[in-house]
Amino acid sequence: MLFSLLFLAALTVATPSPRYGSPYPHGGSHCPPIKGDFNVTYFRLYPEGFDYDSIHCKAYIGGNFNSTVLKKDLHTGEQELLTFPGISFNETYHISGIEFSPRTGAIYFSANNGIAFQSGATDLTGPNKLIKYDTFTNRVVWISDMAPVIAEIKRLTGIQVNGFQDVAEDLAGNVYSVITFGRAIVKITPDGKPSIYYYTPHPPSVNGVMLTSWNGIMSVGDLLILPENSLGKFYVFNTKNGKATPKIYTPKEMPSGYSLSCDRINPPAMFDGTVALCSDDAHGVAVYHSTDKWNTAEYLGLIPNRGTGIPTASGQISNGLYYSNEFFFDVDPNVFDLQPGGNRTIFPFYDITSEVRGLVSRSGRSSW
């Protein structure tokens, strides 16, 4: 009896709990299927980020230099340019990070200060806004100003931080926005109030110029996973813990001579939070995998960039996996990210579904 009770208990523990990344109520499977590379044709779009609303089957593609967002039905071609008062066509701002939440139907647009990036982190004084947009009502819910949090970090550390990019939402609907130069994270409540989630008293710098800590952030269940580019390590936070204490590690199986470097990082719904697409600006899309809820991670391989631009973002669109190309050097081949961008109209998106599926299935461990 005792034996069988213990045996039962052991069985109970071993029974798969609900998938960790769930609920993903709309993995994209009900949307019109997509296959193959495609171009998005729109004057001066220059996407640094994109995401896919897998509830209403619409792509949201960032217009970096105009600070607009193109909302597009890739199936019918129907499209609408979203603009935001005071932000769009204001050269102060770049819309880079774009993140959809399949749980709440919210999509976030990071309107960050372009100069922080253009200046190579030597001018960190500009404003930053985070926009929350509701895909059910097609309305802006709030625009949150990051300035009070930057001021608070300066009060605590004496350091002026800046360089906002990607965001990720937790299960309670809070959203976390990364500060690239100064290694900090801002937490914004579902009603738009920002506060410090994490900061670093002595962020990494060389000759007083702060290094690129993190560009991307992703959430899987209660976890936040951030690639720290200056260290080549993952930081993992559990948002359920009262204190933001990261677990820090180097992924396994990193090829020699290659170090972790991610712009966007994203967990495609089709892999239920076990796979991360890391947009490596210099090389293409690196694929990481975890079989233990991101306690450890493993490098699976790299899909080289097939375009002539910079592969800043990757993620799932309907039932496919894609990356985009940003053309940062159209104004001046020697100056990165210069306003107002160039006069390009055609922006390519590359299908990497079969390559990623191949890497994941060759790893032999496709789920938790």
Ligand X SMILES: *[C@@H]1O[C@H](CO)[C@@H](O)[C@H](O)[C@H]1NC(C)=O
Task: Give every CB contact of residue 137 below 8 A, 6+ residues apart in sequence.
Answer: none
The Cα 40–Cα 363 span in angstroms is: 33
Does the protein bind ligand X through residue 92 (CB under 6 A)?
yes
- Site size for ligand X, by CB under 6 A? 22
- Between 301 and 309, name the residue whose CB sits nearer to ligand X: 309
Nearest to residue 341, comparing CAs of 94, 75, 84? 94
Among 86, 120, 201, 304, the residue binding ligand X under the rule CB under 6 A is 86
Does the protein bind ligand X through residue 59 (CB under 6 A)?
no
Q: How far is the CB of 67 from ligand X (least distance, A)?
A: 8
Does the protein bind ligand X through residue 331 (CB under 6 A)?
yes
Show the beta-strand stretches assigned E in 4-64: 38-41, 50-53, 58-63
Span from 96-104, 212-220, 278-286, 341-349 in contact with ligand X (CB under 6 A): 341-349
- Between 165 and 325, name the residue whose CB sits nearer to ligand X: 325
Does the protein bind ligand X through residue 319 (CB under 6 A)?
no
Span from 84-92, 96-104, 160-168, 271-279 in contact with ligand X (CB under 6 A): 84-92
298: exposed, middle or buried (C-beta count within 10 Å: 0-12, 13-18, 19+)? Answer: middle
Among 258, 346, 354, 362, the residue binding ligand X under the rule CB under 6 A is 346
- Between 101 and 110, name the residue whose CB sits nearer to ligand X: 110
The Cα 62–Cα 69 span in angstroms is: 5
Nearest to residue 281, comparing CAs of 302, 251, 311, 254? 311
Span from 37-45, 98-106, 237-245, 317-325 in contact with ligand X (CB under 6 A): 37-45
Instruction: Provide the Cα torsion 326, 289, 33, 102; round to 10°.
Output: -80
Among 66, 112, 290, 314, the residue binding ligand X under the rule CB under 6 A is 66
Long-range pairs for 299-304: beta carbons < 8 A, 24 or more residues apart: 299/251, 299/252, 299/253, 299/254, 299/255, 299/258, 299/260, 300/253, 300/275, 300/359, 300/360, 300/362, 300/363, 301/359, 302/258, 303/352, 303/355, 303/356, 303/359
Task: Give every CB contact of residue 183 below 8 A, 6+ residues apart in sequence.
Answer: 199, 200, 203, 204, 213, 214, 228
Q: How far is the CB of 75 from ligand X (least distance, A)?
A: 16
Does the protein bind ligand X through residue 39 (CB under 6 A)?
yes
Q: How far is the CB of 105 from ligand X (least distance, A)?
A: 24
Q: How far is the CB of 299 from ligand X (least distance, A)?
A: 29
The Cα 336–Cα 281 span in angstroms is: 13
- Between 271 and 349, name the residue whose CB sits nearer to ligand X: 349
Q: How far is the CB of 338 from ligand X (least distance, A)?
A: 9
Q: How far is the CB of 79 from ligand X (least distance, A)?
A: 10
Does the protein bind ligand X through residue 348 (CB under 6 A)?
yes
The Cα 230–Cα 213 span in angstroms is: 5
Does the protein bind ligand X through residue 38 (CB under 6 A)?
yes
- Between 177 and 219, name the residue whose CB sits nearer to ligand X: 177
Does the protein bind ligand X through residue 44 (CB under 6 A)?
yes
Q: Which 119-158 positions form the footprint of ligand X (CB under 6 A)? A: 127
Span from 49-57, 60-68, 276-284, 305-313 in contact with ligand X (CB under 6 A): 60-68
Q: How far is the CB of 68 from ligand X (least distance, A)?
A: 4
Answer for the pair 321, 277: CB distance below 8 angstroms, yes or no. yes
Instruction: Tell me the HSE value of 180 on the side-chain side, using a 13 A CA sphere.
Output: 28
Instruction: Provide the Cα torsion 329, 278, 346, 71; round to 10°.
Output: -120
Does the protein bind ligand X through residue 37 (CB under 6 A)?
yes
* List of residues contacting ligand X (CB under 6 A): 37-39, 42-45, 63, 66, 68, 70, 81, 86, 90, 92, 127, 330-331, 342-343, 346, 348
